[in-house]
């Protein structure tokens, strides 16, 4: 592992799924897992390819019920390339003797390189070197170069390249009772002596997929059509210690793409016109160079290497090409089939980073939400509410995709899934709109699409709140909070808990910000919005009341996660750790015992403490003050301590949020949780889940931990606010951001010395505000500040 590459030595079948996820290559349009091209999908390998936004819906029989699921489709596999020495079997690391094996993911150039030496015959060795790219400049291209070298022998080598349309979604064991056969009408053909094509379509969404492959080798290829595969075979003569090269270049299009007439025609035309591998690699490297400059990150040591890997995978999933697509933030990237490729609330952890580097991508991701605003309004009406009720899980069209049943692999039982009651996802969308506009100064978006979303989300919260005469406050009932463990009260016949603190406080924030925005809108736009939404001024008065009087429960001097949380039983944490070791998925353990986590004061991940992640201490205190509730520093620290001892960290996001919050509340313990967030995917701390897809929110969140968490950065009121909290373990770092039209503003912290460099331009000066001073930096100017203890 270095800052520029990620390396694996040796072949370990048990580690292949994890390595395939972490060696995935993508460009924002599509991605391909880092499986070996000579290996088919089996219990060890899973060579999936996923196109952003390409979903399909199927119905399955599960536990005696018909269950409908929409999946991100595993499209035809472009990768297959196998080989054998005459008289021998096809070589794979599972069936042949491997003398050496090494895989290197070159982060700076987006290139996956593998070197393997196979024993062939009695004393011969076949050395295989491959270089693979998913092209970052042209999002429809991928290329694979394979060099074969005969060591100590001569002979003939047969190479077979293929396009395989016989794939299915089978990468997640707990989904295997669900129908995963999404492709139909698979056809293959020949376009030229060196080019084959494959076309198919998805079964219900009717998305047409076209793929073409051009093979270049030292000998002509024999083409075979064996539906659902198109194969190209070539026979190469190997001389001792001489290398021969086979290049495979592939183009991929779907009917969702603009400016094409037919996906297959577009793929054939593109693959026939592109240059060779070397030229493709050169333009690919240039595109990556440009992206790295915009996302510059300088953190020393092992932490810096991991952060660079995280940044690499964020950029592969959400690249500048994403700005041209109608897609959301897939929680597990384009790296596998976990969560069925759905869009959750993870953009809450992703967009704050993108806002300051690739704002055009953030804007496109918010457009995804705006295009589904009408669907969210329909969902609210169906639930008996006004406004917009966004789904907890979203896919192609914005309907609620949360499954009604989920499998507990520990007990083998299918259980009701009530996570669709996590209506706080609407607040996350509103927060992302606000943060994007503050970071970019994009008032056009704020006054149009942003205002429309904020208004309808605020309307939903105000309509969901019910006034309680006894409390003298408004309540929001029947929800599920970020914790996810607690989806009902013990013994209750209906799902949902009441007055989740995170839900209520963020709802109050949405209402407050929306009222501020409506006051600030230019009069003509204000009038348009009022007319279009039939906004009643009596409604605004209600919003004002609700935003000041939502109920936030307390118990024993701490904020309650929800009403009644403090009345639940205490869990024997030490006893469960002794019995089970890893208790991150405590909910599954308890259910397998015939118990339920709903009975206990136990959280899966940060819930109340999410408030300290979203809001600075001063903003959070201001929110509580507006609600007429006390929240001093002592109360917040007690709350942090309370939940710190009652959280199992069953999500990769939990370590991130706790590290962020503790950096300001209890600095000595912060690094432990920061380390857990950094190690989440590379060490697969959730027990085999990374092999099913990376955790994109946690990866992006670690980047934002450096960018905003440790610097205390806020973008508000037209200024860049900084309040650094240097951790002893991470006291030196640097990065560049794009802020209000300024490209490449560089911030660096070395011990307690802060440097801010603003590149030359014709833009306005940047106002930088620290707790003890205000600095105004002109373009071309560098500010050097000493930070007192």
**β pairing state of 141-151 and 124-134:** antiparallel
Q: Name the β-bridge partners of 72.
A: 55
Cβ 671 vs Cβ 710: under 8 Å: no
723 DSSP β-pair partners: none
Radius of gyration of the chain (CA): 27
Q: Are 240 and 296 in contact (CB under 8 A)?
A: no
Range list of H helices, 262-395: 263-273, 277-294, 301-317, 347-354, 359-371, 373-382
In angstroms, rounded to a whole number, what is the distance separating the alpha carbons of residues 344 and 251? Answer: 30
Task: Give the sign of the dihedral formed by CA 92, CA 51, CA 394, CA 363.
Answer: positive
Mention every residue, 6+ apart, whose C-beta is less than 8 A from residue 619: none
Q: Is the peptide bond before 228 cis (omega within 30 degrees of 0)?
A: yes
Sign of CA dihedral 545, 551, 556, 560: negative
Query: What is the widest separation between alpha-carbon atoms in the chain?
Result: 90
Pairing of strands 5-9, 229-238: unpaired
Question: Taking the CA of residue 518 as centre, how many other CA atoms within 13 Å lie in the half-sphere pointing to its CB?
Answer: 26
Compute the distance between CA of residue 405 and CA of residue 625 in angstroms, rounded to an integer. 41
**73, 226, 480, 526, 547 from 182: Cα distances, Å:** 7, 20, 32, 46, 46
**Total Cβ atoms within 10 A of residue 520:** 12
Give CA–CA dist 131/5, Å, rounded.
Answer: 14
Tokens of 681: 């995917």
Q: What is the DSSP string of 734-779?
A: EEEEEETTEEEEEEEEETTEEEEE----SSPPEEEEETTEEEEE-T
Question: Is residue 206 left, alpha or beta, with left meaning phi > 0 and alpha meaning psi from -120 to 50?
Answer: left
User: Any catalytic annotation for residue 400?
Assistant: no
DSSP bridge partners of 248: 144, 215
The residues pairing with 730 across neighbouring beta strands, listed in sequence order, are: 727
Output the six-digit token pair for 222: 């024999």
C-alpha to C-alpha distances, 675 to 68, 642, 660, 730, nearest whole angstrom: 38, 21, 11, 11
CA-based nearest residue to 34, from 346, 316, 318: 316
Closest CA to 308 of 112, 109, 107: 107
Catalytic pick from 38, 337, 347, 484?
484
Q: How many residues does the chain have?
A: 789
- Of 317, 347, 282, 345, which is closest to residue 694 (Cα–Cα)? 317
Tokens in use for 18?
């994890």
Task: Please provide the DSSP assignment of 387-417 as one string.
Answer: S----SSB-SSSS----SEEEETTTTEEEE-
Give CA–CA dist 405/411, Å, rounded. Answer: 14
Burial class of 467 by CB neighbour count within 10 A (0 to 12, 13 to 18, 19+): middle
3 state SS for 612-657: HHHCCHHHHHHHHHHCCCCCCHHHHHHHHHHHHCCECCCCHHHHHH
User: What are the backbone dihedrals phi and psi of residue 518, each rounded to the nearest 5 degrees, phi first?
Assistant: -60, -35
Annotated active-site positions, please? 484
């Amino acid at each position: 592992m270095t800052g520029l590459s990620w390396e694996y030595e040796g072949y370990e079948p048990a580690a292949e799924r994890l390595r395939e996820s972490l060696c995935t290559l993508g460009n924002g349009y599509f991605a391909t897992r880092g499986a070996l091209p000579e290996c088919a999908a089996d219990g060890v390998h899973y060579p999936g390819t996923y196109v952003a936004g390409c979903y399909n819906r199927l119905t399955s029989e599960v536990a005696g019920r018909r269950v409908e699921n929409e999946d991100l489709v595993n499209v035809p596999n472009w990768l297959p390339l196998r080989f054998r020495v005459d008289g021998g079997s096809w070589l794979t690391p599972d069936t042949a003797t491997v003398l050496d094996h090494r895989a290197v993911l070159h982060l700076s150039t987006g290139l996956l390189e593998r070197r393997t030496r196979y024993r062939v015959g009695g004393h011969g060795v076949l050395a295989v070197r491959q270089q693979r790219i998913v092209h970052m400049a042209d999002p429809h291209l991928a290329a694979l170069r394979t060099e074969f070298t005969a060591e100590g022998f001569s002979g003939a080598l047969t190479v077979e390249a293929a396009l395989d349309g016989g794939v299915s979604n089978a990468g997640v064991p707990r989904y295997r009772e669900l129908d995963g056969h999404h492709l139909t009408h698979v056809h293959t053909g020949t376009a030229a002596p060196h080019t084959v094509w494959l076309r198919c379509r998805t079964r219900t969404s009717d998305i047409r997929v076209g793929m073409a492959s051009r093979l270049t080798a030292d000998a002509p290829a024999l083409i075979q059509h064996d539906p659902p595969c198109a194969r190209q075979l070539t026979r190469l003569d190997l001389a001792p210690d001489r290398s021969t090269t086979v290049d495979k270049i592939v183009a991929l299009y779907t009917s969702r793409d603009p400016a094409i007439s037919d996906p297959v025609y577009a793929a054939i035309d593109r693959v026939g016109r592109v240059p060779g591998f070397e030229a493709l690699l050169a333009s690919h490297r240039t595109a990556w160079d440009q992206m790295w400059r915009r996302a510059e990150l300088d953190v020393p040591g092992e932490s810096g290497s991991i952060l660079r890997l995280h940044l690499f995978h964020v950029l592969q999933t959400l690249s500048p090409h994403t700005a041209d697509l109608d897609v959301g933030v897939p929680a597990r990237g384009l790296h596998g089939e976990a969560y069925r490729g759905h869009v959750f609330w993870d953009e809450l952890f992703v967009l704050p980073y993108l806002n300051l580097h690739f704002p055009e991508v953030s804007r496109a991701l918010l457009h995804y939400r705006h295009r589904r605003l009408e669907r969210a309004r329909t969902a609210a009406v169906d639930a008996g509410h006004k406004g917009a009720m966004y789904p907890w899980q979203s896919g192609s069209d914005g309907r609620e995709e949360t499954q009604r049943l989920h499998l507990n692999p520990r007990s083998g039982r299918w259980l009701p899934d009530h996570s669709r009651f996590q209506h706080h996802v609407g607040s996350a969308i509103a927060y992302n709109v606000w943060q994007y506009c503050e970071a970019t100064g994009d008032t056009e978006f704020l006054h149009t699409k942003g205002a429309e979303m904020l208004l309808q989300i605020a309307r939903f919260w105000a309509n969901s709140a019910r006034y309680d005469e006894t409390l003298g406050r408004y309540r929001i009932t029947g929800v599920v909070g970020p914790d996810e463990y607690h989806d009902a009260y013990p013994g209750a016949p209906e799902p949902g808990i009441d007055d989740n603190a995170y839900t209520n406080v963020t709802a109050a924030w949405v209402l407050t910000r929306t009222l501020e925005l409506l006051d600030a809108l230019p009069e003509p736009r204000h009038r348009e919005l009022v007319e279009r939404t039939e906004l009643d001024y009596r409604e605004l008065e209600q919003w004002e009341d609700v935003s000041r009087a939502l109920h936030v429960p307390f118990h024993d001097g701490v904020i309650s996660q929800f009403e009644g949380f403090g009345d639940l039983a205490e869990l024997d944490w030490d006893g469960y750790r002794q019995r089970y070791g890893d208790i991150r998925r405590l909910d599954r353990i308890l259910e397998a015992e015939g118990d339920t986590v709903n009975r206990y004061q136990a959280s899966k991940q940060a819930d109340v403490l999410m408030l300290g992640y979203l809001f600075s201490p001063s903003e959070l205190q201001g929110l509580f003050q507006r609600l007429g509730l006390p929240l001093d520093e002592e109360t917040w620290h007690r709350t942090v301590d309370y939940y710190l001892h009652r959280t199992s960290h069953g999500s990769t996001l939990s370590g991130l949020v706790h590290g962020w919050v503790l950096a300001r509340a209890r600095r000595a313990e912060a690094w432990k949780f920061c380390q857990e967030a950094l190690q989440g995917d590379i060490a697969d701390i959730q027990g085999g889940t990374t092999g099913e897809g990376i955790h994109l929110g946690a990866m992006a969140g670690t980047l934002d931990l450096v960018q905003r968490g440790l610097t205390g950065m806020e973008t508000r009121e037209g200024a860049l606010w900084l309040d650094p909290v240097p951790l002893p373990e991470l006291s030196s770092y640097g990065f560049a951001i794009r802020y209000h039209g300024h490209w490449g503003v560089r911030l660096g912290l070395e011990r307690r010395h802060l440097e801010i460099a603003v590149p030359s331009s014709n833009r306005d000066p940047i106002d930088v505000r620290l707790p003890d001073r205000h600095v105004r930096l002109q373009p071309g100017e560098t500010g050097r500040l000493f930070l007192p203890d």
